[in-house]
Structure 1
């Protein structure tokens, strides 16, 4: 099946662009080359197409194809994660994976390590200050700015489908978050399970749980199962 991505840069230029950024940011004696990145670029673009084609926003999907612009901050943050993670999956150089991760952190304030396995469909919404640790993620995951996913006593959370972390939300420790859940702005879930269709507001000891029936509005209907 042919790739349907309307990209501002072709695959060769994307590889050269990322290599130039990495080398400018980390000018050590082991430079990254465009040729070295190209296999990961070729494998990451179908992942980007699959992800972006589920987003109901004209800047991500124009009705016919996924849309990717290297100067769209949220998109490029998602791309750098996909590129670093793809290179890691391919057994690429650990130093290059780390440089791509650190480039993303420097450009976008996003800490999403290349070994963290985000789902095939996810969305970053201006994710400055967001840290996504080694949780178990499911499709249609959304993270806004200043979100946190992390461990407590070395145990990480797991997430069902259609989970949204609003600005400043954090989920830590032994949590199982059900399908179609939202964690409200500035809320903290710690070592607590949430059933499906829950809106969680507050913090441990002072939390409110409400029924959440509305699905996040930026997913195309094809993804609303």
Structure 2
């Protein structure tokens, strides 16, 4: 691995991380073109620096430590790696492999060109599908949460939003700052109220209640 990173890697020697990712791709896509594999090594320090910044903000994680066997952390790392390589190199072939690897390992669909925020938390990755949208910082995502477009309409998600399991944010929707979308709620071409919990009403309507517990602070430091 070229360069240096302040983050400590657990359950794998830091110098072997690039090779570890490359071998996983080989096993997923046998006999694939490896001519762009050097880009993994080249951009690993930046991807790890982005991951380090994110981990430091997440309350349940140990700052300065990345465990390759912690699936939510590894899932986040693969996104940052693919997104970093895409932003720097526009290496579509390699970024697609990293996207497919993340999908295979973690049952999550985050395309490499989607701009997720600097700080976010994946509670459980299974079934998460994220389309291109505007994503604010301190985002929390749980299993089977979906962010999707409706034609050319795409959601806007402001800072400090929590999407609990089986939620859907679709189309021309605005999820305002500090909103909590409770389990199973569908927000389709609707707006939430800032710093309130959204529950499903009748039809496509929403009901809002106060968040009296500063729920976001359960997941992040300094919020």
Structure 2 gap ranges (5+): none
Structure 1 gap ranges (5+): none
Residues 71, 32 of structure 1: CA spacing in aligned structure 2 closer, same or farther, 3 A cutoff?
farther
Counterpart of 1:125 in structure 2 is 123
Q: Deviations over 1:150-207 (max 9, x none)?
A: 0012211011111010000110011111111111111100001122112111164343
Counterpart of 2:76 in structure 1 is 78
Q: Find the aligned partners of 2:142 and 2:32 in 1 and give their Cα distance.
A: 36
3-state SS of the aligned residue for 1:53? helix
- The count of aligned residue pairs is 216
Quote the offset at 1:28 in angstroms. 3.5
Counterpart of 1:165 in structure 2 is 163
Q: Find the aligned partners of 1:162 and 1:113 in 2 and give their Cα distance.
A: 22
Q: Find the aligned partners of 1:11 and 1:94 in 2 and give their Cα distance.
A: 26
Q: Tell me if structure 2 keeps the 8 A contact 1:156–1:175.
A: yes
Quote the offset at 1:3 in angstroms. 4.3
Q: Find the aligned partners of 2:163 and 2:98 in 1 and give their Cα distance.
A: 24
Report the TM-score, using the length of structure 1 for normalisation.
0.90
Of 31, 45, 49, which residue of structure 1 is paired with 2:48? 45
3-state SS of the aligned residue for 2:178? coil
Report the TM-score, using the length of structure 2 for normalisation.
0.91
Runs ≥4 in structure 1, deviation > 6 angstroms?
A: none
3-state SS of the aligned residue for 1:24? helix
Are 1:15 and 2:18 counterparts?
Answer: yes
Counterpart of 1:218 in structure 2 is 219
Counterpart of 1:88 in structure 2 is 86
Compute the RMSD of aligned alpha carbons.
1.7
Quote the offset at 1:126 in angstroms. 1.3
